[in-house]
Structure 1
C-alpha cells in the first residue's frame, strides 16, 4: 500500500502556545481510513493545521506523495456572496472538472444529501447541518487522492452520517487515503483501518484496533483510548 502522506512534526503550536505538539509522526496510505483520536485539547486540530501548512509555528517535515487533497474543516467556511451552485462551479474550475461531469456528480451528491432544493441559495442562510453537508459535497465532488477531515459528524443527522460513512468507504475502495479526526469513536471503530491516539500533544498509541486491544487488554476503541490515557497519567 503506497503512502500518500507522511508527517513528522517535531513541534507545532501558536504564538501564545509554541509547543502544543511534540514529536507527532503519522502516515496515510492509499486505500485506508486512518483515525486521529483524542480528547478536547489533545492537539488533533493543531496536527491537521500543521499537516496542511496552516501553522506558521511548526518544525518538522510534511511529505505529500500526491498533490490532490480535500480538506473538510470542523467549522464550515464559505464565500458569503456565492450560492451553493456557484461554490460547486468554483470547485469544478479549480479542480479542472469538465462541465458535464461536474453537473452529473454535483446533482447526484446534492440529491443524496437533500440539498437540491436550495442549490441556488446562499449557504449563509443554511442550518449548521446543511452547511456541513455542503462541505462534504464539495470534497466528494473533487474526488481527491487524499481527504483530511476534522470532526465531520458535527451537525449531521443519522441518515447523513450513514451516507457520509458509506461514501468514505467507497472512496477508500477507489484508492483514496483518508485522515479523519473525530470524537465519534463507535463510528471510527467500524470504518477506520488504523488509529493514532493522542493526549496532551503527543502520541500515546498507534495501530490497528487489534493491535490497540492487545496493547491495552481492552475491547472497544473507547476503552482502549481511556486506558491508554489513564496509563499515561500514572
Structure 2
C-alpha cells in the first residue's frame, strides 16, 4: 500500500500571478480548481504520472518570513543553457537570493513572492528529469528521512549519506527527491510541502495508518477535508491525497 509523490503544494499571496510565473519558467499549462487554487502540469500530461511532479498553488494571507524548507531545483543541459535560464528568469521577475550558499556551481534565486529555488549546473543525472531536476527538502537526518520516505513511497532510494538522501520514482523518470542536511531548525508551518497519493483501489484510512506506523504523525486541522494531513518524523507537513 505504498504511496508516490504526485505534486508539491505551495502557498501564495496571489496564486494566479505566481502560477503564471512558474508556468512560464517550466513551460507548463495552467488550470484552476476554483478561486484561490492554481494547478500547473506539463502540456498533455495525464495525472498522475511520475514523469512529472506537478505544482499546486494555494492562496494564503500568511506572509513568508523564513527560508522555505522545500524547494525545486531546475535542470540545465549546458553552461550556455544555464546562463540563458538565469537571464530569462530575471526577465520573468526572479531575483538572485543569498541563503548562505557560498561559492557553489548552481545559482540560487527567488520567485516573485520570495520562494527560493536553484538553477542547477548541467549534469547527466538530470538529462531526462524534465525542467524540474529535483524537489529538495531540508532535514536534520538524511538517513532517517531515507528510512521513512523509502518505506512510505514506492520510490527507489538511490543514495544515502550523512549529508543527503536521494530518491526517484521506481520507473526511473521525472525529478529526484533529495533530503539535504541543514543546521536550520524548522519554525512554523512549511509554506511548501509534499503531496503523496495511494494507488487506485487502496484505502485512504489504511494508507494513513500505515504511514503512522512508519513514524508519521496525524495533524488535525479541525475542518472537513477529503484528504489526510500528516507530518514526517522531522515534523515536515505533507498531505495524503485520495487514491487515484
- Please give the TM-score of this superposition, normalised by the length of structure 1: 0.32
The structure with more helix, counted as a fraction of residues: 1
Indicate the structure (1 or 2) with the bigger Cα radius of gyration. Answer: 1
Q: Which structure exhibits the higher relative contact order, with contacts defined as CA atoms closer than 8 Å and separated by 6 or more residues?
A: 1
The structure with the greater share of residues assigned to strand is 2
